[in-house]
Chain A
Amino acid sequence: MISVYYFGAISLILIGLYAVLVKKNLLKMLIGLSIMETGVNLLLVSVGYVAGRSAPILSEGIGPNQAVDPIPQALVLTAIVIGVATTAMALSVAMILHEKYGTLNVEEIRRLRG
């Protein structure tokens, strides 16, 4: 039986993928990409979870055996930053496309280019 946390993460990934596949507006596709990214991050964090343990901050009462795996969290920290960078790049490309073609509809942009 698949856990509800995995189910949530997979649903987010699929919702984002649906937007990327079906939507025609570039901004909506980028929103889908962001949702997908959130799903992937959630999936990574939930893979690192250990039942009954606390966040990996070794303060009072939390020893090395009471903390969850820190590596997925560190990976997700990296992934979020890279996600912000790619989103910023994609948004500026979308701005330029809108300036050049006057539309954000991917099909029209494709048609104008031939």
Chain B
Amino acid sequence: MLKRALAIITLIIIGYWLAQGLAGVPFGEDKMLVGQYYLDNVKEQTGAVNAVTAVVVNYRGFDTLGEVTVLFIASTGVGALLWRRKKQRTAKTEGSIVLTTGTRLLVPFVMLFGAYIFIHGHLTPGGGFPGGATIATAFLLLYMAFTAYEIPHKAFEKTEGAVGMAYVLVGLIGLAIGGYFLYDWIWQDWGFGVDNVGRLLSGGFIPIIYTIIGLKVGTELSGIIDNMLKEEVSE
């Protein structure tokens, strides 16, 4: 009881403090300092229509590489924590007929939708991370519906490594051509899709990077799902 009262008092203090701080940041007023620069120049500098993706992939592409690394380390960590010698799926019942039939019908479309999200990252809301998560939900569906389903581990590990290296490779090509890491040579030097801004074939290397990120996030989240669903089986 005392603990609960103390917690509530702490919460009131923190809440009051947060509200005091935010009272100085009025809601809905223009506070942009850097954001306006990005908005003014995003089309000429990156060829992307969606300013958020331009910030994530182009202006702050190096941060995104770090983010992908964090995700990779997390999935490796989950694998290391849940590693056993004998690991098997211990699902006891097959999904109901509705679930299995629905899964069979829907999985290709769910994957297609994920691919759509990450390929159109420079045009519509979304991008590599939500697209990859959508692809992982397709594998989650397969896991839920079928007792014996396993993701193709070999292929997944190879894809994960290859796309991880591909991101660094794209950055290094930029370094060789333009003089700094993750230089967008497709847009800056080739001017690919200059009179096509707002359509699919534009946006410099953003679709390429986002395809890479989408595949990486999809494989990694599927790996996390796979690790968490398996249990140790005693001999």
- A residues neighboring B (CB under 8 Å): 1-3, 5-7, 10-11, 13-14, 17-18, 21-22, 43, 46-51, 55-59, 64-65, 67, 69-71, 73-74, 77-78, 80-82, 84-86, 88-89, 91-93, 95-96, 99
Task: Determine chain B's interface SS by DSSP, over half rule.
Answer: helix
B74 touches A69 (CB 8 A): no
Q: Which of A50, A55, A56, A99 contacts B29 (CB 8 A)?
A: A50
**Within 8 Å of chain A (Cβ to Cβ): is B170?**
no
B14 touches A2 (CB 8 A): no
Residues on B with C-beta less than 8 A from A14 are 11, 14-15
Q: Which of B28, B63, B224 contacts A50 (CB 8 A)?
A: B28
A74 touches B78 (CB 8 A): no
A and B contact pairs by CB, cutoff 8 A, 12 listed: A51-B28, A51-B29, A58-B43, A69-B32, A78-B64, A85-B75, A88-B75, A88-B78, A89-B74, A89-B77, A95-B228, A96-B82
What CA separation (Å) do A43 and B27 show in the bound complex? 10
**Within 8 Å of chain A (Cβ to Cβ): is B227?**
yes
**Within 8 Å of chain A (Cβ to Cβ): is B30?**
yes
Closest B residue by C-beta to A7? B19
Residues on A with C-beta less than 8 A from B32 are 50, 69
Task: Pick from B49-57, B93-101, B137-145, B173-181 the stretch touching chain A.
Answer: B49-57
Residues on A with C-beta less than 8 A from B63 are 78
**Within 8 Å of chain A (Cβ to Cβ): is B200?**
no
- B residues neighboring A (CB under 8 Å): 3-4, 7-8, 10-11, 14-15, 18-19, 22-23, 25-32, 34-36, 38-40, 42-43, 49-52, 54-56, 60, 63-64, 67, 70-71, 73-75, 77-78, 81-82, 123-125, 127, 129, 133, 198, 217, 221, 224, 227-228, 232
Indicate the member of A17, A82, A84 with the most B CB atoms within 10 Å. A84
Least Cβ–Cβ distance between B84 and chain A, in angstroms:
10
Q: Which of A3, A70, A81, A86 contacts B28 (CB 8 A)?
A: A3
Given A17-B14, A77-B127: A71 and B28 interface contact (C-beta under 8 Å): no
